[in-house]
């Protein structure tokens, strides 16, 4: 990972580098952990890092990380359970907290609840969602994030809407990894631009030919935006609640991400 320094003996004891998934560093880290190695976080050491330069690069990065982690869960689940070199508590942490919750549930649940269940509930009156699921839990999560970073509190609503869209993208990647579907091992390195903003990035492995429309627009997000607009309009006309406000905002965010209308300018 970024700024990670490894002991050669740890790499050798863990079985060496392995490219069986697209998160080979996570693979090595989990295997080293199962051998009893521990990681030391040194907070006073600072190094330069680089975020993805545009939305396309960010989407590919998130797909690779999410799909690779889910696929690693599939490949290592039995190995983690059967290993005798770590405690039962450590096994449960890896299987439940590290993999199941953080790499599967954290992506699938937000998408299913906020982008599927809530919109469908306005079309089907029999579906009743309790207030704690729609209001209290999201509000609590929002407050916790705001407290952690108060200087960016004005970005929280936009971040929530954007993360819901990305949960759609990550959910697809999660099932590709779990089921080992066609693009499970697709490796597209995140473009690195460095400190020079005018540097032309080098074409990456498996880079698809550029096309003005397909290179920027994502049809799945745009189609989902249409579905959300239909649900929001139905709720506005026939509903007795105010879900349409959130659903309209979410639909607009899907359109923004689907057309690539973000991450295209430098501050």
**What pLDDT, in 10s, does the model give residues 108-148?**
988 998 899 999 998 988 888 887 777 777 778 777 777 77
**67 located within any domain:** yes
pLDDT given for residue 190 in this prediction = 77
54, part of any domain: yes
The reply to whether 201 falls in a domain is yes
Q: Report yes or no on 265 lying in a domain.
A: no
Please say whether the beta carbons of 248 and 135 come within 8 A. Answer: no
Residue 266 lies in a domain: no
Q: Decide if 233 is inside a domain.
A: yes
Which of 140, 114, 132, 158 has its CA nearest to residue 247? 114
Flag whether 112 is in a domain. Answer: yes
Alpha helices in 35-123 (DSSP H): 55-82, 88-92, 106-111, 118-123
DSSP 155-201: GHHHHHHHHHHHHHHHHHHHHHHHHT-TTTT---PPP--TT-TTPPP
Residue 244 has pLDDT above 50, yes or no: yes
Helix (H) or strand (E) run with residue 238 in it: helix 219-238
| pLDDT number for residue 215 | 62
Has this prediction a pTM greater than 0.85? no
**Is it the case that residue 167 has pLDDT exceeding 50?**
yes
Q: Report the C-alpha gap between 42 and 93 in whole angstroms.
A: 23
Say if residue 242 is exposed, middle or buried (CB neighbours under 10 Å; 0-12, 13-18, 19+).
exposed
How far is the C-alpha of 73 from the C-alpha of 50, rounded, in Å? 27
CA atoms within a 13 Å half-sphere pointing along the CA-CB vector of 188: 19
In this structure, the number of other CB atoms found within 10 A of the CB of residue 99 comes to 21
Helices 219-238, 156-179: axis angle to 10 degrees equals: 120
Report helix angle 156-179 to 243-258, nearest 10: 70
pLDDT digits (tens, 9 = 90+) for 42-96: 888 888 888 887 888 888 899 999 999 999 999 999 999 998 888 999 899 999 9
Residue 113 counted as domain residue: yes
Domain count, the chain: 1
Residue numbers of the domain that contains 72:
8-259
């Amino acid at each position: 990972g970024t700024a990670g320094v490894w002991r050669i003996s740890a790499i050798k004891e863990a079985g060496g580098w392995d490219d069986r998934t697209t998160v080979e560093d996570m693979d090595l880290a989990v295997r080293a952990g199962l051998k009893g190695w521990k990681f030391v976080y040194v907070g006073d050491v600072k190094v330069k890092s680089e975020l993805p330069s545009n939305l396309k690069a960010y989407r590919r990065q998130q797909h690779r990380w999410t799909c690779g982690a889910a696929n690693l869960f599939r490949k290592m689940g039995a190995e983690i359970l059967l290993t005798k070199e770590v405690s039962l508590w450590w096994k449960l942490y890896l299987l439940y907290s590290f993999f199941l919750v953080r790499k599967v549930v954290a992506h699938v649940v937000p998408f299913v609840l906020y982008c599927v269940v809530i919109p469908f509930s306005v079309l089907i009156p029999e579906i009743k969602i309790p207030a704690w699921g729609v209001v209290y839990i999201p509000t609590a999560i929002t407050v916790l994030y705001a407290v952690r970073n108060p200087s960016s509190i004005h970005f929280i609503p936009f971040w929530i809407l954007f993360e819901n869209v990305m949960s759609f993208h990550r959910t697809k990647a999660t099932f590709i990894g779990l089921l080992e579907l066609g693009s499970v091992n697709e490796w597209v390195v995140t473009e690195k631009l460095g400190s020079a903003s005018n540097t032309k990035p080098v074409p990456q492995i498996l880079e698809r030919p550029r096309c003005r429309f397909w290179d920027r627009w994502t049809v799945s997000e745009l189609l989902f935006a249409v579905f959300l607009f239909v649900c929001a309009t139905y709720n506005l006309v026939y509903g007795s609640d105010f879900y349409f406000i959130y659903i309209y905002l979410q639909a607009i965010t899907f359109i923004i991400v689907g057309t690539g209308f973000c991450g295209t300018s430098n501050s």
